[in-house]
Structures are given as C-alpha cells and as structure tokens.
Amino acid sequence: MYNFLSLQVLLCLHKNMLLFLQRLLQRFHCICYLIFLLYYPYIVLCCQTCFPPPKPSWNKRFYLTTSIVRNIVFSVGQFRSLTGIRFLTSGGVPPSSPLLPRGLFSKLGDSLVPGSALPAYEYIYSNDSELQQLFPTTTPLLVGSRNKIILYFHGGAFCWQSLASHRMMLYAMAKATGATILSIEYRKAPEHPYPLPGQDCFEAYKWLLQKIGDSSRIVVAGDSAGGALAIDVILMTRDGQLPRPAGSILLSPWVLF
C-alpha cells in the first residue's frame, strides 16, 4: 500500500512539474524546458530507485522507461502546435549517457554521403571493422563481419521524434541481438509529405546494399510510422527488382490508413 501511494505521489509530482515547466516555456521560451529535458531521465531515475517497481515482472529500467513514456504522452496533450510537440518528443539521452548499455559506440552524421541528399543517420556498433566498411576514409571497402545490420526507421506519426528519441531502445536492441544498427533520420510531414519519407528510407537501403553487397545481412525495422516505412522499403525493392532484405522487425506498424 505504501509503495502504491508513493508511486501515485511521484506521478502527480511529475504531472505538476510538467505543467509548471509548460508555463516557464511560455514565458522564457525553450531555455528552462531544454535544461529539464536534459536532466529529466536522471531525475526520474533518482526518484524511482527509492521505490520498487509496482509489478514483480518489471525491472527498474523498464519502470523508468514506462514512466518517461507516460509523462511524454501526457505532456504532448499540453501543446497545441506541431513545433511544441516536436520540441518535446525529439529529445533523448546523449550517446555518452551512462543509461546506455556499455560496450557499444555510435557514429552520427548529417548525411550517409557528405554533401548529398541522403538522410542523416546514427550508426550503433561494437566492431570497428564494421564501421570502417560502411564509412571508409582512405582504405578500400572491407569485407567486415557477417553480422546482421538492422536498418531502423523510428516512429512518430511521420511528423516528429528523432534519432535521439529512440537511442536508448536501439542500444538495447543492438546489445540483445548482437547486430549493428543503422538508424535513419528521414524527412517528415507536413513539410515533406508522402512519398518523400519513404524515398529517404529506400535510398538508405540502396546505399547500405551497395556498401555491403549482400541483402541477406540486412534486416529492415521500425516502430509505428517507422514500421510502415519498413514495409514501404520492402515493396519498393520488389517493384524495383532489387534484392530483398533478409527479414523485417515491425513494432506496432502503422499499416492501416
């Protein structure tokens, strides 16, 4: 009973804190809210380590994640503009965060090919030779390992979220599967409506296929809107008579329109 009441008090404090920060955001624009977003995961982690998870099957990492997601969903309803929603949902833990699994590294870039129209990316890896294969500097293309590469498209209703918002989940996926992950920052609506997001993802697939030369090593994946984009890529490989990926990972894909 004590733990349940403590949890309710924590969630109530979180909601009140978000409402207070919304007022700060309206008055002082984004500075105060940006500071909060940077430190919020650490604040929640410190608070919730004082109380055990409400269910026996939940560990503290899962408890932390669900609490953050619930508060983000609550916070989204407080904003009436797309800019405000994007500002709230596009943040995430930095690559150097201690909350991320150890033994993994990441490379961020503005474009898969500098100076081209290819999308921005984050590459999560544990093997330097794999990185050298995809992003060679002065050496020829290497054969590298035979590990699977997950080409990931994040969710967000085709309008928001980012590489950073999914970083914690993708690090955990890389750790659990042993695969390397290439996460793509595709263009978003309404500035870039359909089919531009799908074209970005398809171009990323073609780039990756050209780099490694073996579609059996590629798995396309995505959640929500990203799951729809993963299906788009598979259909485009069929229509374009390109080698299809080895498989797909679809997390609550947005496939019914």
Same domain for 63 and 165, yes or no, is no
Domain of 149, CATH number, reads 3.40.50.1820
Last-in-domain residue among 64, 89, 114 = 89
Determine, yes or no, domain membership for 112.
yes
Determine, yes or no, domain membership for 95.
no
Same domain for 127 and 23, yes or no, is no
Same domain for 109 and 199, yes or no, is yes
> Among 68-77, 134-143, 247-256, which is the least confidently predicted range?
134-143
Same domain for 232 and 117, yes or no, is yes
Residue 194 is predicted with a pLDDT of 87
Overall number of domains in the chain: 2
Same domain for 85 and 130, yes or no, is no
What is the per-residue pLDDT across 118-136, written as a single tens digit (0 to 9) for each? 889 999 988 665 666 666 6
Which among 233, 80, 77 is positioned nearest to 150, based on CA atoms?
Answer: 233
The contacts of residue 196 (CB under 8 Å, 6+ apart) are: 186, 187
Q: Residue 38: pLDDT band by 50, 70, 90 thresholds?
A: low
Reported as type and span, the H/E element at residue 11 is helix 2-28
Determine, yes or no, domain membership for 94.
no
Answer yes or no: is pLDDT of 29 > 50.
no
Q: CB of 221 within 8 A of CB of 152? A: yes
Same domain for 115 and 238, yes or no, is yes
Mean pLDDT, rounded, of the chain:
77
Task: Give the mean pLDDT of 206-211.
Answer: 92
What is the per-residue pLDDT across 237-246, written as a single tens digit (0 to 9) for each? 999 999 999 9
Q: What tokens does 21 get? A: 């920060």
Same domain for 231 and 151, yes or no, is yes
Same domain for 78 and 133, yes or no, is no
Check: pTM over 0.75? Answer yes or no: no
State which residues form the domain around 56: 2-89
